[in-house]
Structure 1
Amino acid sequence: MPIPATYPKYPSRKEFIQYLNDYVSRFSISPRYRRLVEAASYNEVSGKWRIKARDLESGEAEEYTSRFLVVATGETCDPKIPKVEGLESFRGEILHSTEYKNGEKFKWKRVLVVGSGNSGMEIALDLANSGAKTSIVVRSPIHILSRGMMDAAMELLKYFSFEWVEWMTTMMSKAVFGDLSKYGMQRPEEGPFTVKLKYGKFPVIDVGTFNKIKSGEIEVLPAGIRSIKGNTVLFVNENEHTFDVIVFATGLLNDDGFAKSFPNHWKGKQGLYCAGLAQKGFYGAGMDAQNIARDIKALL
């Protein structure tokens, strides 16, 4: 089902949720939310999978049977919060980016965002827009691109070499965002797409955070945290800052319970499939979904 023509190029959170709800309605999908899968076993006689689950709201046990079983639980699961000396002594609020809703309740508060990926940068922007005194730790070198640069790169890759497109994209980034060191940040020596392929680190897609950094509304702290004592955070460069809130935008723990032998990872035996477990992002998950759908259709 295509994205509605009335939607903007980059749909809002509300529009995306509406699209998902419309998708569920159109194809008569019946999601079972708040279920914990406790076991899955294959019955050789019936040729079907037996899945035992538990309703986390009522606590009741449930059982499902199916000819096919698709595991699409994602590669990441639990929030990852780094070990920091004295973190337990912090007197303010600590939360992970997965718990962050909006910045309204943090107005006037001193908030430290730890993590300079896309989640951290967008949370910092939302906090600044909400009136929080916002700081963000940017310890590692980062590439900053605009949405337009990413769109152009994806289009150019159809006609030009990877190396040329990466070089051109890097030049555009330098022309638009300038010398990042002026603001306490550094660019990696390798290009943005090479960094993604080699290390799995996405470039930051700027949606307004950079201008807030330039204006001083968001303060960049270019050193990691050494320790915390009360509301005081000591950084490895010996600087100290006081905060009321710490938001850890430090990612999720990887679930390594499944093999990820791309590109033949998606199909198992006896009607077992997996989607989105090959460390290929949304694009890889989409490829898996199409392969699985075609395979199941051929077997029906």
Structure 2
Amino acid sequence: MAVVPITRNEDEGGGMYHEMIMNLGSKCIWIPGPVIIGAGPSGLAVAACLKERGVPFLILEKESCVGSLWKLKTYDRLQLHLPKKFCELPYMPFPPEFPEYPTKEQFISYLEAYAKHFSIKPKFRQVVGSASYDSSLGFWRVKSNECEYMCRWLIVATGENAEPVLPDIPGISDFKGRVLHGSKYRDGAEFKGNKVLVVGCGNSGMEISLDLCNNCARVSLVVRDKLHILPREIFGTSTFGLSMWLMKWFPLKYVDKFLLLCSRMTLGDTKRNGIKRPEIGPIEQKNSTGKTPVLDIGAFAKIKSGQIKVVSGIRRFTTYGAEFADGHVEEFDSVVLATGYRSNVTSWLKEDNFFNQKDGYPKNPFPNNWKGRNGLYGVGFTKRGLLGASFDAKRVAEDISRRWNSETKHLRIKA
């Protein structure tokens, strides 16, 4: 086997590295530090943490930009659901002039500035087809559409929202109107005057319904399951921030009771408007199932006024509308599937010890969800948003840094 080392002087991928072209019939590149899959917030966070510790790395990103989910697959009116202090990536706060809840465009500009500040330069348009651990060599082999990379450590940072969930509802292929996933929805102006059915009542479904309503569409919102709706702020303070502070002093069940009391005082009894609450409280539900409560920014007022109509689960689609679980049938011009996203890790990562094959999440729950075997790590799979991703990034970088410094020191002594 002929091996030709090539030294690159430019700081490509965020750290200086050496390449080896192996004569195996295809290009094979050796990366001495970790390979990071994904240049979204999780990938950028762990890259910055590695950069601060002097560990070289390479980021592979399938799209042509950082933060591609935010830039390419979100609606225009999107804002961060939590205050900016809970959404900062490590070592760099948001600009002080940004509002408490930054907009989509502001968050994208923050990610781009973050990458520039830490000189993080991903390799774009690198679609990873497979990644597997070669036990005979002791390295990971990562195959993209261009070449193969070999590395000691592999960091999966593709996150919880890698691909859209498209539900298989009976008759949906026969519906003659427009059907699009929330990842394709941009602005309600193009639906003016339309009768629109929104499927999915999480934060995205609620906000898309509000946007449609504000653009003079006639909106029906499918609410199939029980859910918690909370005001985004209580007494002028972030509901999320307040709950985190209360959790330091009181048991979870009492904090949940307080949040539900405040919600009833602010929003009223949601059951009267067709939205039943789960038996367990919002924080307990989040911790046990990962399901996030809706933080209301105005959609529920539209529901109470009748401008957004709550409908039951769909039994089947018809040619021009839908039949619902309660038996009634309505016609619609368009359907927006606000049915969320899922992890796609198991479609390309060839291992079954760390990630669950069923849902693509680490098998171990938070906070022990970040490290697997053979130098495999995960960042951004906590079901705790950007705060959880930052927590993961720091722990992963610290662990790899210790190993990197130990191996580098050993090589220097040996030399």
Per the TM superposition, whether the score is higher than 0.5 is: yes
CA contact (8 A) 1:260 1:279 kept: no
| One-letter amino acid of the structure 2 residue matched with residue 33 of structure 1 | F
- Counterpart for residue 401 of structure 2: 297
CA contact (8 A) 1:72 1:276 kept: yes
Partner SS state of residue 181, structure 1:
helix
**What is the distance in 1 between the residues matched to 2:281 and 2:374?**
43
Q: RMSD of the alignment, in Å?
A: 2.3
99, 103, 115: which is aligned to 1:24?
A: 115
Q: 1:98 and 1:10, CA in 2 relative to 1: closer, same or farther beyond 3 A?
A: same
**What is the distance in 1 between the residues matched to 2:125 and 2:297?**
33
Larger deviation, residues 72-81 vs 143-152? 72-81
Quote the offset at 1:76 in angstroms.
4.7
Larger deviation, residues 106-115 vs 36-45? 36-45
| One-letter amino acid of the structure 2 residue matched with residue 70 of structure 1 | I
152, 164, 183: which is aligned to 2:273?
A: 183
- Counterpart for residue 105 of structure 1: 190
Q: 1:53 and 1:13, CA in 2 relative to 1: closer, same or farther beyond 3 A?
A: same
Q: 1:40 and 1:195, CA in 2 relative to 1: closer, same or farther beyond 3 A?
A: closer
Quote the offset at 1:117 in angstroms.
0.8
2:363 maps to 1:260: yes
1:2-21 deviation digits (Å, cap 9, x = unpaired):
11211111111111001000
The normalised TM-score by structure 1 is: 0.89
2:335 maps to 1:231: no
CA contact (8 A) 2:257 2:281 kept: yes
Quote the offset at 1:40 in angstroms.
3.3
**What is the distance in 2 between the residues matched to 1:45 and 1:232?**
57
| One-letter amino acid of the structure 1 residue matched with residue 364 of structure 2 | S
Quote the offset at 1:239 in angstroms.
1.3
380, 390, 410: which is aligned to 1:276?
A: 380
Q: 1:138 and 1:43, CA in 2 relative to 1: closer, same or farther beyond 3 A?
A: closer
Count, aligned residues: 293
Quote the offset at 1:103 in angstroms.
1.4
**What is the distance in 2 between the residues matched to 1:261 and 1:283?**
18
**What is the distance in 2 between the residues matched to 1:32 and 1:63?**
13
**What is the distance in 1 between the residues matched to 2:150 and 2:168?**
42
**What is the distance in 1 between the residues matched to 2:153 and 2:108?**
27
**What is the distance in 2 between the residues matched to 1:179 and 1:44?**
58
Unpaired stretches in structure 2, ≥5 consecutive residues: 1-91, 234-238, 347-354, 356-361, 406-415
| One-letter amino acid of the structure 2 residue matched with residue 209 of structure 1 | A
**What is the distance in 2 between the residues matched to 1:169 and 1:70?**
37
**What is the distance in 2 between the residues matched to 1:278 and 1:183?**
32
Partner SS state of residue 210, structure 2:
helix
Larger deviation, residues 116-125 vs 75-84? 75-84
Partner SS state of residue 167, structure 1:
helix
- Counterpart for residue 218 of structure 2: 133
177, 187, 198: which is aligned to 1:92?
A: 177
Quote the offset at 1:65 in angstroms.
4.2
111, 122, 136: which is aligned to 2:207?
A: 122
The normalised TM-score by structure 2 is: 0.65
Quote the offset at 1:213 in angstroms.
1.4
